């Protein structure tokens, strides 16, 4: 699934996100809710890699303030195809702060799409998934 040979479009990003969600559903189906976030992360990374995705985990992103390093760094849970950030949770409910966190990560890392996935939910697609896009996504060709 290497994007170098493809033109990055909104459709490509959305198709990739759809496949990622399918992998998350498979992990959730296999493990169920109630485990630690790190367990889900390990299994999701394995599932994504088995599907041929380029996956990086715990990616460090420096925080820049007015163009200068602020002396702090963020750690993205999972980065897929250098395009989509996955922020994993294993919590009772997704809070506004979780959404704000993902939007900030997307902005600081310069990525067009993020997926907030809560493995604590009974059904990921009904209550455990928040897809997010930003202005970078909107600038991509359809």
* Residues 1 and 81: beta-carbon distance below 8 Å: yes
Tokens of 120: 């604590």
Rounded Cα distance, 73 and 127, in Å: 30
In the chain, what are the domain boundaries? 3-139
pTM equals: 0.92
CATH number, domain 3-139: 3.40.1350
67-103 confidence digits (pLDDT tens) = 898 988 889 999 999 999 999 999 999 999 999 999 9
Look at residues 60, 142, 77 and name the one whose alpha carbon lies nearest to residue 114.
77
């Amino acid at each position: 699934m290497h994007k170098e040979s493809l033109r990055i479009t909104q459709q490509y990003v959305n198709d990739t996100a759809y496949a990622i969600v399918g992998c998350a559903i498979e992990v959730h189906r296999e493990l169920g809710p109630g485990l630690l976030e790190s367990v889900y992360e390990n299994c999701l990374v394995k599932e994504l890699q088995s599907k041929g995705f380029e996956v990086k985990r715990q990616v460090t992103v420096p925080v820049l303030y007015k163009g200068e390093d602020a002396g702090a760094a963020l750690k993205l849970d999972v980065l897929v195809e250098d395009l989509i950030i996955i922020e994993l949770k294993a919590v009772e409910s997704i809070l506004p702060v979780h959404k704000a966190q993902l939007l900030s990560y997307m902005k600081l890392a310069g990525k067009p799409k993020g997926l907030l996935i809560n493995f604590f939910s009974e059904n990921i697609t009904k209550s455990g998934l928040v897809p997010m896009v930003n202005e970078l996504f909107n600038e991509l060709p359809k």
